[in-house]
Amino acid sequence: MSSLRHAMPVVLVLVHAVLALALQGPAAGSGEVPAVIVFGDSTADTGNNNFIQTVARGNYAPYGRDYAGGVATGRFSNGRLPADFVSEALGLPPSVPAYLDPAHTIHHLASGVSFASAGSGLDNITAQIPSAMTLSEQIDHFRQYTERLRRAKGEAAARRIIAGALYIFSIGASDFLQNYLVFPVRGYSFTPAEYEAYLVGAAEAAVRAVHGLGARAVTFAGLPPLGCLPLERAVNLRIPGDCNSAYNMAAVSFNRRLEGMIGRLGRELPGARVAYVDQYGLLSAMIARPWEYGFENSAQGCCGSGTGYVETGALWSLKSALACDDAGKYVFFDAVHPSERAYRMIAGAILNATSHSRLHRFH
């Protein structure tokens, strides 16, 4: 709780910054964002995997222990995810509902929805390993959503929501960690450069598909520093406890290509405002200088001792007994996923990316 109160001014500052930027540009009149629409993996799944047969679930303690009511919603963190904070900062609900949760009607989902599925990737094979929903399936659900929205709200209102929404993509880390670098399902058929090109091609196809269905403002997050995730430090055989620099280099190389593709699509797709989010830069700064961001530990997850596979929820069990007292002091909550406080800062980077892309477009 104290960490929540502590972090509150950050969001308020962001809201002010976003409003100030919005008011400067001619975008101000059309100003309001009616919905936040999310695709991705465990960094964006707000509970969809609770409703499918999969081993990738975060609906048990200590996940959710700092969420409202202490509920484990399926979010792989101690609290909310970046998309939730973005939604709140835009004046929308403080959490983005999961599409598959039957508790939500199309009227609830009209102001925001997550199609994300923990364990998913840009590569269809990645989702098959934990039986998560592929990105193609997520986009099929989005198509179905646009139809439901038209039936419920009428053509004009539905079009306003779909064209005015902010779209968030947060996906790709599992392609490398679950599938290519660690357990090389794809390692034998692709060189690293080929796999990178294949994944960026899949990312491009996904952005084109949602643009084709009416999306305009899209943010796409780059990979985090994969080699500095607590899990990868713990299994680093060359220098135990240190970041795996080969994994970081793979992420940097992928991100460069992704950013290039995003810039090109932004110029090419009619009416699109597509922005790359530099998650790598922000997280590596937090990891290198945690104290500047109010963290005390950036090498281990709040849960577990930092010694291996037991510390992430996806395929391994996570022991409540080993959780730290204050997750707000940790960059990571488990061995792979950021803490709520780190996620709140990532939300800031997403909001910044959207305001910058707006400024670039109109000035």
Q: Is 95 a catalytic residue?
A: no
Q: Does 266 bind ligand NAG (CB under 6 A)?
A: no
47-55, 175-183, 287-295, 345-353 -> range binding ligand NAG (CB under 6 A): 345-353
Instruction: Please tell me the distance from the alpha carbon of residue 172 to that of residue 223, in angstroms, as a whole number.
Output: 7
349 touches ligand NAG by CB under 6 A: yes
Q: Annotate each residue in 130-159 with x if it binds ligand NAG (CB under 6 A) or - if it does not, as one string.
A: ----x-x-----------------------
140 assigned to active site:
no
Beta pairing partners, 218: 167, 274
Q: Does 322 bind ligand NAG (CB under 6 A)?
A: no
Nearest residue (CB) to ligand NAG, 203 versus 327: 203
Give the dihedral sign, CA 114/120/122/123.
negative
Instruction: Report if residue 345 touches ligand NAG, rule: CB under 6 A.
Output: yes
Identify the bridge partners of residue 112 per DSSP, sorted by sequence position: 36
Euclidean distance between CA atoms 43 and 339, whole angstroms: 11
Active site residue 355: no
Task: Give yes or no for a contact between 228 and 333, defined as CB atoms under 8 angstroms apart.
Answer: no
Establish if 179 lies at the interface with ligand NAG (CB under 6 A). Answer: no
Shortest Å distance, C-beta 278 to ligand NAG: 8
Selected catalytic residue, list 114, 211, 337, 355: 337
**Distance in Å, CB of 124 to ligand NAG, minimum:** 4
Which of 10/310 has CB closer to ligand NAG?
10
Contact region with ligand NAG (CB under 6 A), list: 105-113, 234-242, 254-262, 346-354: 346-354
- Contact, 123 vs 48, CB < 8 A? no
Phi and psi at 87, nearest 5°, equal -55, -50
Under DSSP, the state recorded for 323 is: B
Q: Is 156 helix (H, G, I), strand (E, B) or coil?
A: helix
Options 101, 334, 339, 355, the catalytic residue = 334
CA distance 238 to 70: 39
The token duo for 322 is 């080993």
Distance CA 110, CA 145 (A): 9
Residues that bind ligand NAG (CB under 6 A): 17, 123-124, 134, 136, 202, 282, 345, 348-349, 352
Catalytic residue IDs: 42, 334, 337
